[in-house]
Amino acid sequence: MNHWPSSPDALLFSRLPAQLAHARAQAPAYRQLLAGMDLTGITNREALATLPLTRKSALIAAQAATPPFGGYAAGKALRVFASPGPIYEPMDASSWRMDEALAAAGFSAADIVHNGFSYHLSPGGFIFDSALQALGCTVFPGGPGNLEITLSALASLNVSAYVGTPSFLALILDKADETGTPLSLRRALVSGEALSAGLRARCHARGLAIRQCYASAELGLIAYETDGETGMQVAGGIIAEICDTDGNPVAEGDTGELVITSFSAVYPLLRFATGDLSAFVPASRQQRIKGWLGRADDSTKVRGLFVHPEQVKAVLAHHDDIRRARLILSHDNAGKDVMTLHIDAAASCDTAAIESSLKALTRLSAHVVHDSALPDDGRLIEDRR
C-alpha cells in the first residue's frame, strides 16, 4: 500500500463515508453498485479498494441505456457538456479545482490570459476560465482556432499567459516567428496532449515558463507539474489509486490504471477507472504520479479530444459497405497528430461520406484509405505515435 503525509489523505477519508452515502442515495447507478454495503467503515485506502470500479470505457453504453448520464448523476448541474463518444458530463461550480495548478504555475491577477481551449460542447474552456477568474486573471476566450486573429489579439492586448493544448501554442509561436509579431507571453499551462521536450526547450529559450497538467472532462484537475520535482503532484480534493485490471492497488512505483474518487456533489464518480496508465513516484514528499504512461484500453486522445472504439463501430454501422476498419493515429513530419481510417470496402464506396461521418462523431478530421490487407482481428484503433 502507498502512504503519504497523513493530513490531506486523512481529511478526504473522513469525508468519504458521507460522499459514498450521498452517491448511493442520489445516483441510481451507485444505489445498485453499493446496495447492502456498510459504507461507514470506508475510511482508508484498503477499505476503498473493496468497492467496485466505475469504468470510463463503459460510460458510453451506460448513458445510451440510461440517458443522459447513465445513472451516475446525483444532483442539479449548472452546465452539461457533450464530449466525443458521446459522453455527457454534468458539472457544478466546484467540480474542476484547476486554480490549484494555475497558482502553482505562477498565474495571478496581473495576467491577461489567452484561453486556447474550446468553450463549445466539451468543458475545457470553462474548466480553465472559471479557475482563471477565481485567481483574478483577465481572460481572453480565444479558443483553439482563428490563428491570424488570435496572434493579432495576443500582440494588441499584451497577453502575458496561455492555457490550451501544446500543439496550438506551437502554432502560435510558429506564426509569430514567421510574421515577426512580438509576443509578451511569460507563462503557459498546457493540457490535453503530451508536452514534448522540444516545445518545452523552445519555450524556455524564449523566456516562456511552461508547465503541463493532467485533467479530464469528468474529473477536472487530476495532477500538475511543480518546480524541481519528478512527475506531477496529485491535485487536492480527489483520492488517486493506481490499480491492476481487477481494481487492486499495485505496489508503489509499479505501472497500472489511474483510478480516481471524486467529491463532486453533482457527479460523484467513485473509483473511476480513467483508462490512463501511470505510476506513483516512490518516496515522494507528496503524492505524485509519473504522468501519462499510455492507455489501458484502445481509446486514445487526439488533439486534446478522446477517440473511442465505439465511434469507429458507429461509422461501420452507418456505412454497411465497409467490411472492416481501423483508425490509425500517427504523427506528420511536423510532429502533429494525424488520423487515417483504413477500410476494407468496395472500391465504389463514398470515402468523402465516410470522412464526414467520422468527423461528425469525433469532431476531428481524418483521411480514409482503402486497405484490403487490413487484419481481421477486431482491433478498431491503433496508435502509432
One domain, residues 132 and 233: no
One domain, residues 265 and 362: no
Q: Which of 215, 248, 269 is the last residue of a domain?
A: 215
Taking only the tens place, the pLDDT of each residue in 239-251 is 999 999 899 999 9
Residue 170 counted as domain residue = yes
Distance of CA 354 to the CA centre of its chain: 27
One domain, residues 333 and 365: yes
CA torsion angle for 10, 13, 15, 16 (degrees, to 10)?
180
Distance CA 323, CA 247 (A): 35
Q: Which of 171, 192, 215 is the last residue of a domain?
A: 215
One domain, residues 281 and 352: no
Domain that holds residue 109: 99-215
Number of domains in the chain: 3
One domain, residues 87 and 128: no
One domain, residues 103 and 210: yes
Taking only the tens place, the pLDDT of each residue in 23-61 is 999 999 999 999 999 999 999 999 999 999 999 989 999
The pLDDT-based confidence of 334 (bands split at 50, 70, 90) is: low
Residue 187 counted as domain residue = yes
Residue 340 counted as domain residue = yes
Residue 1 counted as domain residue = no
What CATH number does the domain containing 191 carry?
Answer: 3.40.50.12780
Which helix (H) or strand (E) segment holds residue 132: the answer is helix 124-134
Instruction: Give the mean model confidence (pLDDT) for residues 182-202.
Output: 94
* Phi (first) and psi of residue 126, to 5 degrees: -70, -35
Q: Output the DSSP codes for 216-262.
A: ETTTEEEEE--TT-SSEEEPTTEEEEEE-TTSPBPPTT--EEEEEEE
Q: Which of 269, 289, 309 is the last residue of a domain?
A: 289
Q: What count of other Cβ atoms lies within 10 Å of the Cβ of residue 109?
A: 9
Q: What percent of the chain has pLDDT over 90?
A: 69
What CATH number does the domain containing 368 carry?
Answer: 3.30.300.30
Residue 295 counted as domain residue = no
Closest CA to 40 of 61, 14, 67, 75: 14
One domain, residues 110 and 84: no
Residue 47 counted as domain residue = yes
Q: Output the DSSP codes for 138-197.
A: EEE--TT--HHHHHHHHHHTT--EEEE-HHHHHHHHHHHHHHT------EEEE-SSPPPH
Residue 323 counted as domain residue = yes
Residue 294 counted as domain residue = no
Q: Is the pTM of this model over 0.85?
A: no
